[in-house]
Amino acid sequence: MKKLILKKGREKAILRRHPWIFSGAIQSVQGQPTPGETVAVHQSDGLFLAWAAYSPTSQIRARIWSWDPEGEINQDFLSDRIQQAITLRRTWIDPSLTTACRLIHAESDGVPGLIVDKYHHSLVMQVLSAGVERWRDEIVNILVETLSPDCIYERSDVAVRQLEGFQARTGILYGSLPGQPITITENGHRLQVDLVGGQKTGHYLDQRDNRRFCQQMSAGKSVLDCFSYTGGFTLHALAGGASSLLAIDSSEAAHHIAKANLGLNQMASDSYDWITGDVFNELRLLRDQGKSFDLIILDPPKFAPTANQAQKAARGYKDINLYGFKLLNPGGVLMTFSCSGGIDAGFFQKIVADAALDAEVEAKILYRLGQAPDHPTHLAFPEGAYLKGFVIGIEG
How much of the chain, in percent, has pLDDT values that exceed 70? 99
Residues 6+ apart with CB under 8 A from 380: 16, 17, 18, 19
Residue 149 and residue 195: Cα distance in Å, rounded? 14
Q: Using omega within 30 degrees of 0 as the cis cutoff, is the peptide bond preceding 181 cis?
A: yes
Identify the DSSP state of 1.
-
Q: Decide if pLDDT at 84 tops 80.
A: yes
Q: What is the mean pLDDT of residues 308-322?
A: 87
Q: Decide if pLDDT at 338 tops 90.
A: yes
DSSP string, 137-204: HHHHHHHHHHH--SEEEEEE-STHHHHTT---EEEEEEE-PPPSSEEEEETTEEEEE-TTTSSTTSS-
Residue 297 and residue 273: Cα distance in Å, rounded? 15
pLDDT value for 396: 74
Q: What is the mean pLDDT of residues 307-327?
A: 88
pLDDT value for 314: 86
What is the set of domains in the chain, with CATH numbers?
3-66 (2.30.130.10), 75-182 (3.30.750.80), 204-394 (3.40.50.150)
Q: What is the mean pLDDT of residues 185-196?
A: 96
Q: What is the mean pLDDT of residues 294-304?
A: 90
293-298/222-226 β-pairing = parallel
Residue 194 and residue 185: Cα distance in Å, rounded? 14
pLDDT value for 307: 67
Q: Decide if pLDDT at 304 tops 80.
A: no
Q: Decide if pLDDT at 306 tops 80.
A: no
Residue 276 and residue 141: Cα distance in Å, rounded? 42
The rounded mean pLDDT for the chain is 95
Q: Give the active site residues.
A: 339
Q: Decide if pLDDT at 167 tops 90.
A: yes
Q: Decide if pLDDT at 303 tops 90.
A: no
How much of the chain, in percent, has pLDDT values that exceed 90? 90
Backbone angles phi, psi at 196, to 5 degrees: -90, -45
Q: What is the mean pLDDT of residues 69-89?
A: 96
pLDDT value for 192: 95
| Residues 97-147: tens digit of each pLDDT | 999 999 999 999 999 999 999 999 999 999 999 999 999 999 999 999 999
Q: Decide if pLDDT at 301 tops 90.
A: no
Q: What is the mean pLDDT of residues 215-226?
A: 97
Q: Decide if pLDDT at 79 tops 70.
A: yes
Q: What is the mean pLDDT of residues 204-228?
A: 97
Q: Which amino acid belongs to residue 359?
A: A
